[in-house]
Amino acid sequence: MAFPRRVTLGIVYHMPFWQAADGGLWESEGSFARYVDSLAPYFDEISLCVPVFSTPQTSGTRVHAANVRLAPLPFFDGPKHFYPKLPSMLMRIARWVPRIDILHCRVPTPAAYPAFVTAKILGKPVFLLVVGDLKALLPAMPYRGLKKKLWAGYTAFEEWCLARMTRGALTFANGAALARKHDRADSPVVETRTTTISLHDMGSRADSCGGAPIRLLAVSRIDPRKGLRCLPGAVARLRDAGADVRLDIVGPTVGRPGEMEREEIEADAARLGVGDHVKCLGPIALEPLLRLYRQYDAFVLPTLPGEGIPRVLLEAMASGLPVITTRVAGIPSLITHERNGLLIEESTAAAVAEAVARVIDDGALRRRLIHEGYESARASTLEGQAGRMMDVVSRRLHVALRSGMAATT
């Protein structure tokens, strides 16, 4: 199709934003804001079709690119808030899609399929980035009875929508597992890695674990799908073995299940006698979080299936932390065991404790993990990811994009 001189990219996703009094755009978590900034140099304008808070929040990450605009949706936090507002959502999406030239959907998200269908009707090109796997997460969901059936039904519906979108659009996937799942002979999927790090975020230390206490860090949303319940037991095992370790968990709770998970983590820590050594710090905005990583000695993420490649692994690598995580989903396409991280086979206290003990006790291993982690992080920066993705978008969708060298202010 013929494109106008100016090209507007429309992005639909569920990460909430707000607009400050000075006109600046802010995102609550930060990873998506940085992703938007990385794409901004390739387009004349980016229009974000995202939920918007009714009032400004106290912390978050600012979008620095000057060519990004909001196309606000009513605030929603997951499908249970989206679908009761469906008529309003559909009307706003239907008015928004004609004003953009290319549609980009980060999926899964409930707003994506209506936007995709509208774009296809209007003949607009679409590309997707698949960042998670709801079906793989289903066994870990804490619901029972009717809630479990409703979530299973929603998951099946999202899988149905996603199958149709991936067959009808250029698709990128976060990690090898998601790429394999959605790959089709007639519509091959392009593997990528979602990331938040730039070259200026790279650390320089060559070693950790040089003093006491040994500070462990986990960064994750707190809900039953993330495998965090094993961590108090791991800390207890390590302390019983004589290791002076402390663990901080950074991240927000996700709904009532997340609040219950945090309460259980804290209760387990108290019951095991490590209540003073396991702390849930709550959410921290991305910019201060990236600085915080460097205060720790090792990173642990005993996540369950359903991830693509968690972006926090690259954040930890860029900060010089040896990484311990589970061999699930797309993680093995980033982590090579004993080279740039340690992979555990299951999310248990014993497995985490054993891996942490290896990192503490084996200096040669620890320094290798840190060095190779830096190399992996340097190969997976925002700038590199955006450049590779936009090269494919330009070639496959026949779009003349900007060079990507323009500065974001």
Strand 126-130 to strand 190-192: parallel, antiparallel, or no bridges (unpaired)? unpaired
Radius of gyration of the chain (CA): 21
At residue 17, φ and ψ (nearest 5 deg) are -125, 170
pLDDT score at 50: 97
Q: For residues 36-65, give the mean pLDDT.
A: 95
- When pLDDT is cut at 50, 70 and 90, the band that residue 4 belongs to is low
Contact 333, 177 (CB under 8 A): yes
pLDDT score at 289: 95
Q: For residues 333-337, give the mean pLDDT.
A: 95
Contact 46, 68 (CB under 8 A): yes
Q: Is 383 exposed, middle or buried (0-12, 13-18, 19+ CB in 10 A)?
A: middle
**224-255: per-residue pLDDT in tens?**
889 999 999 999 999 999 999 999 999 999 87
The Cβ-side half-sphere exposure at 350, using a 13 Å CA radius, reads 2
The secondary structure of residue 368, as a DSSP letter, is H
**269-324: per-residue pLDDT in tens?**
999 999 999 999 999 999 999 999 999 999 999 999 877 889 999 999 999 999 99
pLDDT score at 283: 92
**344-394: per-residue pLDDT in tens?**
999 999 999 999 999 999 999 999 999 999 999 999 999 999 999 999 999
pLDDT score at 1: 47
- DSSP per-residue string spanning 118-182: HHHHHT--EEEEE-B-HHHHGGG----HHHHHHHHHHHHHHHHHHHHHHHHSEEEEESHHHHHHH
Quick one: which of 409, 407, 401 has its CA closest to 44? 401
Q: Is 186 exposed, middle or buried (0-12, 13-18, 19+ CB in 10 A)?
A: exposed
The secondary structure of residue 224, as a DSSP letter, is G
Q: For residues 47-58, give the mean pLDDT.
A: 94
Q: For residues 198-204, give the mean pLDDT.
A: 92
Q: Is 211 exposed, middle or buried (0-12, 13-18, 19+ CB in 10 A)?
A: exposed
Strand 61-62 to strand 25-27: parallel, antiparallel, or no bridges (unpaired)? antiparallel
pLDDT score at 404: 64
- Bridge partners of 216, per DSSP, are 247, 298
The letter for the amino acid at 258 is G
Query: Which of the residue ranges 136-140, 155-159, 339-343 has the most confident prediction, judged by mean pLDDT?
Result: 339-343
3-state class (DSSP) for residue 229: helix
pLDDT score at 255: 78
Q: Which residue has the higher pLDDT, 311 or 185?
A: 311
Average pLDDT, the chain: 93
Contact 40, 15 (CB under 8 A): no
CATH numbers and ranges of domains, the chain: 8-195+381-397 (3.40.50.2000), 199-378 (3.40.50.2000)
pLDDT score at 109: 94
Q: Is the pLDDT of residue 197 over 70?
A: yes
- Bridge partners of 70, per DSSP, are 48
**12-37: per-residue pLDDT in tens?**
999 999 999 999 999 988 899 999 99
Q: For residues 138-166, give the mean pLDDT.
A: 88
Task: Centre a 10 Å sphere on the Cβ of residue 153 and count the other Cβ atoms it contains.
Answer: 10
Q: Is the pLDDT of residue 116 over 60?
A: yes
Contact 278, 262 (CB under 8 A): no
Query: Cα(135)–Cα(225) distance, rounded to whole angstroms?
Result: 12
Quick one: which of 53, 46, 67 has its CA closest to 15? 53
Query: Cα(389)–Cα(337) distance, rounded to whole angstroms?
Result: 27
Q: Is the pLDDT of residue 407 over 70?
A: no
Q: Is the pLDDT of residue 262 over 70?
A: yes
What is the number of H-type helices and E-type strands within the chain? 14, 16
- When pLDDT is cut at 50, 70 and 90, the band that residue 256 belongs to is confident
Using a pLDDT cut of 70, give the percent of the chain over it: 97
Quick one: which of 70, 387, 355 has its CA closest to 199? 387
Helices (H), 11-57: 31-39
pLDDT score at 59: 86
The gap from C-alpha 78 to its chain's centroid, in whole angstroms, comes to 15
